[in-house]
Amino acid sequence: MPATMSLAPADWAALGFFLLVWAAFTYASDGRLFSRESLSMAMNRQREKWIRVMASRELRMIDTSIMLSLQQGTAFFASSSLLALGGCFALLGTPDAALSILDDLPYAGGRSRELFELKMLGLVSVLAYAFFKFGWAYRLFNYCSILIGAVPTTHEIAHSPGIADRAIERAAAMNILAGKHFSAGLRGVFFSVAYLGWFVHPIAFGLSTLILLAVLTRRQFFSAARLAVLDDADGQAGSGRSVAVRPVSQ
């Protein structure tokens, strides 16, 4: 495989660093590396609260409207990922134009067509991962809509609280799982932007990965959005997870 063998040690190091950062940030966002609660974990608790509040409403048009907006947003990102994939395949068909642009950049000249195509296949893999995550999240939001419809009315809850609690837990768990896959798809899109640095130079690849890591870390752990979601009780709880509704499988 001459294209694979043409990768320099610096390329392998930058690619390994990129994958390591992606995996580590995913684990950190899910609360499996640090005790500090992330924005995603805090929102998981708010999703559960939403479903429980929804169960107390007799009329649930607001909740169906929220679910519709979640599905539309997921469909938009899935379509965008598919369009980006199409653009990547178009570049694979005509790599000479892209190589001529890269040759004019500092430190990016002298790249072979085979190496460019190999890197493009990597970008295709990242975008395909994001597309499948968005597609699965869209389907899970559909399932969540059905489970929300299966939650008993307030009159039925008063007569069968046990059955109602299980229905609420199912809907909340499905909502959290759908949000988790949607977030994974977004991370794929974000990291595909950092991946573009590899077309310039391995050092640019590492720097773009570090910059993206700094931006995402701030948003997940130190942003105003995170503070807006947390309150004093949430901050003291600090877990962001509910044993009853946290999905076991991805």
DSSP 47-73: HHHHHHHHHT-S--HHHHHHHHHHHHH
Which letter does DSSP use for residue 37 in this model? P
Q: Which helix (H) or strand (E) holds 158?
A: helix 154-159
Q: For the residues 68-94, what does the mean pLDDT come to?
A: 93
- Angstrom distance (rounded) from CA 68 to CA 72: 6
Q: Please state the separation of Cα 200 from the chain's center in Å.
A: 26
- Angstrom distance (rounded) from CA 15 to CA 21: 10
Statement: the pTM of the whole predicted model exceeds 0.75: yes
- Angstrom distance (rounded) from CA 190 to CA 209: 10
Range among 56-60, 152-156, 245-249 rated most confident: 56-60
Which one has a higher pLDDT value, 102 or 8? 8
Look at residues 212, 7, 204, 21 and name the one whose alpha carbon lies nearest to residue 122.
7
Q: Is the pLDDT of residue 219 over 90?
A: yes
